[in-house]
Amino acid sequence: MIKGHGDDRYQFNLPVKADFSSNVWYAGLQKGLEDELRNKINEVIHYPDPGAWKLQAKLEQYLSLSADTVMVTNGGTEAIYLIAQAFTGATVTIVEPTFAEYEDACKLYKHQVQFLSWEKLNSETSFSTDMVFICNPNNPTGQAIDEHILEQLITQNKHTVFVLDEAYIQFTHDTASMIPFLKRLPNLLVLRSLTKSCCIPGLRLGYIAGRKQLLDRVRVYKMPWSVNAMAITAGEYILDHPTEFEVKRDTLLEETYQLWEGIRKMPEFKVMPTHTHYFLFETLTGTAAALKMWLLEQHGLLIRDASNFYGLGPGHCRVACQQADDNKLLITALRKWTLS
């Protein structure tokens, strides 16, 4: 079970004024969705559809995919664990630094895990393992790899199953979803989240898209009713109102740049480049753990101590862009940290 992650405010009895610690879209709960959830609260007196089959069909239609090529999951996490389980004992490459759950799930299911640095990933990379986990755009670095490079990579490594986590695909201009490529890539599983861009991580809703034959291998391990009734309700509402849930990327990435630039100007921090609305920086004075607690206690600001990501060090922090005023609070607080 995960120790050390974003959005961990439940661990502290301290007020949080602004939360930079998770990569969820900052816009809050969309009004129409909020009303829908409120109006349908009474549906929790019924069991949910055991396999979320209606939502699955709706997603397949929305994504122009054929029947049984989507599986709705209890967040992206259930997708990761089910895939790891379906390939128990496989050899796996994880492109790092990245989300710790790939490694945790693979180790639980006795995979032989090896790591490849994100920087070394290109269209010529050759894989000898049964599976590869790639997060695109990557968490926690915000780096993105072009979809056509990925296509070449997946085509050239026919005997490797690629698990491509696109939880943050709506938050970048620099790559696109591989879902339209599924028809010609039988060795690809795409993970998507319906919660990051719609700001409902508490409901737990994600899905896997992939060839029926490959997905059926995963489906065997899925227990009934893993996706709750409110998550299904939300998923249906989102698909019925897709334009209302489009992330305002231009504004978001411009604000991210302002925040990034604000931190970059302080020589006490080393800021990493990003293609998305979150990024890494390293504090060169003190540790990420100390900085996180100081920001929370002194300023009510929550960031992600990213030192526990494989490949990162004790000074690494991750922040996701918030509203402009909140971003300013963080910059001001970090300036105080450099003077303290």
Q: By the criterion CB under 8 A, which residues form the site for its own copies? A: 1-2, 5-7, 9-10, 22, 24, 28-29, 34, 37-38, 41-51, 54, 74-75, 77-78, 80-81, 101, 105, 108, 199-204, 219-226, 228-231
Number of other CB atoms surrounding residue 115 within 10 Å? 15
* Residue 53 beta carbon to its own copies: minimum distance, rounded to whole angstroms: 8
Closest by CA position to 77, among listed 224, 203, 199, 215: 203
CA 21 centroid distance within chain: 13
Rounded to an integer, what distance in angstroms lies between the CA atom of residue 94 and that of residue 151?
18
Paired sense of beta strands 206-210 and 70-73, if any = antiparallel
Rounded to an integer, what distance in angstroms lies between the CA atom of residue 328 and that of residue 50?
46
Closest by CA position to 146, among listed 114, 197, 181: 181
Cβ–Cβ under 8 Å, residues 52 and 45: no
Q: What is the DSSP string of 119-159?
A: GG--TT----SSEEEEESS-TTT-----HHHHHHHHHH-TT
Give 50 or 273: the residue with its C-beta nearer to its own copies: 50
* Residue 135 beta carbon to its own copies: minimum distance, rounded to whole angstroms: 16
Give 220 or 339: the residue with its C-beta nearer to its own copies: 220
* Residue 288 beta carbon to its own copies: minimum distance, rounded to whole angstroms: 19
